[in-house]
Chains A and B, each alone.
Chain A
Amino acid sequence: MLLRSAIDKYDVLYGTTTLGLAERDGLSDVVYLPDCNRSSITQAARCLAECWRLVRRTKPEVMITTGALPGLFCLVIARFSGARTIWIDSLANFEKPSMSGQFARYFSTLWLTQWENLARPKGPHYYGGLF
């Protein structure tokens, strides 16, 4: 949502796991996904199925996510569907890219970190951050 000013000019569909965020930010084109993390396999499987349906139906040209696991699912599926993908690693990871971020590198066209100290020549790349 914090990227809005960069992408508002495109046809954007937002996906989130938090009910009410869309209302707070005045967005109309939003789809909700069930949340999950690597602690619960059944939840993750349910989430994966939802992500699959979402990406296959909407066929995005570009997919942008900051993670975590639901975002990674969508990113991988979107990449295999031919979309260009951007992974922006969460600010929460200062010492090393997040676990999902390390998987995401293999499926992202553009692999970004928001911390300069984590940038490497082969990625993740640093162009700036929200902090």
Chain B
Amino acid sequence: MILVTVGTQLPFDRLIEIVDGAAPSVAQPVLAQTGCGQYVPRNIEWRQMIDPVEFAEILSRVSLIVAHAGIGTLLMAQKHQKPIIVFPRRASLGEHRNEHQLATVKALETRSGIYVAWTAEDVVGLLGQSLAPPPPLGSDFGKVQLLDKISSFIGGVGHKRDAAPRRPGLARTSERS
């Protein structure tokens, strides 16, 4: 299955429409999370919002992701080792507040497993290919360094409450049982 996702904050009907149009000639079923878009797909299965638990479960079994250049989505693709076609939002078309998604894809374009589509034709072309997934992360060095720094900044030995948390006033804080 192919999963299309455009995040949940801003509409991105242009991408949904492109994939919907190409779907009849794609061999696999397609599921789209359309977020706050208005476009109603005709050829693919779609859901407005998928909760994170189910979303992670779906991600684990898809063969390909098609998405906007959202960092959350890119990190998820890396985590689940799925190939991803990335189609950046353009602020010039009112699809985001600034052009940072163009910068993101320029920075990540050369990484294996990430396939950047600049145009609708690129998306359709890439959908017709069999795309290799990213290799397993060779080293977590960057992450380890960052976490070490944060840990040492906070300092102390750390103390964890063992009793149930009592945080008066936080009505929506879920209680540990």
The interface of chain A, by Cβ under 8 A from chain B, is: 2-3, 5-7, 9-11, 13, 18-24, 28-32, 35, 37-39, 53-54, 57-58, 62, 64, 84, 86, 88, 90-95, 98-99, 109-110, 112, 114-115, 127-131
Q: List 30 A-B contacts (CB under 8 A).
A: A6-B147, A6-B148, A6-B150, A10-B159, A13-B167, A20-B53, A24-B56, A28-B165, A29-B174, A29-B176, A31-B172, A53-B169, A54-B170, A58-B170, A62-B154, A91-B71, A92-B70, A92-B104, A94-B106, A112-B146, A127-B149, A128-B141, A128-B145, A128-B149, A129-B142, A129-B146, A130-B75, A131-B74, A131-B78, A131-B142
Minimum CB–CB distance for B61 against chain A, Å:
16
Minimum CB–CB distance for A17 against chain B, Å:
9
Minimum CB–CB distance for B137 against chain A, Å:
9
Q: Does B138 contact A (CB under 8 A)?
A: no
Q: Mark B43-61, 1 if CB is under 8 A from A, else 0.
A: 0000000011101100000
Q: 6 smallest A-B Cβ distances: which pairs? A: A128-B145, A9-B158, A6-B147, A128-B146, A128-B142, A94-B107
Q: Within 8 Å CB of A18, what residues of B?
A: 8, 52
Q: Within 8 Å CB of A28, what residues of B?
A: 165, 174-176
Distance between Cα atoms of A110 and B144 in the complex (Å): 17
The answer to whether B52 and A7 touch across the interface, beta carbons within 8 angstroms, is: no
Distance between Cα atoms of A2 and B72 in the complex (Å): 11
Number of interface residues, chain B, beta carbon within 8 A = 50
The answer to whether A24 and B53 touch across the interface, beta carbons within 8 angstroms, is: yes
The answer to whether A11 and B53 touch across the interface, beta carbons within 8 angstroms, is: no
Distance between Cα atoms of A73 and B27 in the complex (Å): 47
The answer to whether B153 and A110 touch across the interface, beta carbons within 8 angstroms, is: yes
The answer to whether A90 and B71 touch (CB under 8 A), given A11-B161, A30-B174, is yes
Q: Does B160 contact A (CB under 8 A)?
A: yes
- B residues 49-88 touching A (CB-CB < 8 Å): 51-53, 55-56, 70-71, 74-75, 78
Q: Does B120 contact A (CB under 8 A)?
A: no
The answer to whether A57 and B170 touch across the interface, beta carbons within 8 angstroms, is: yes
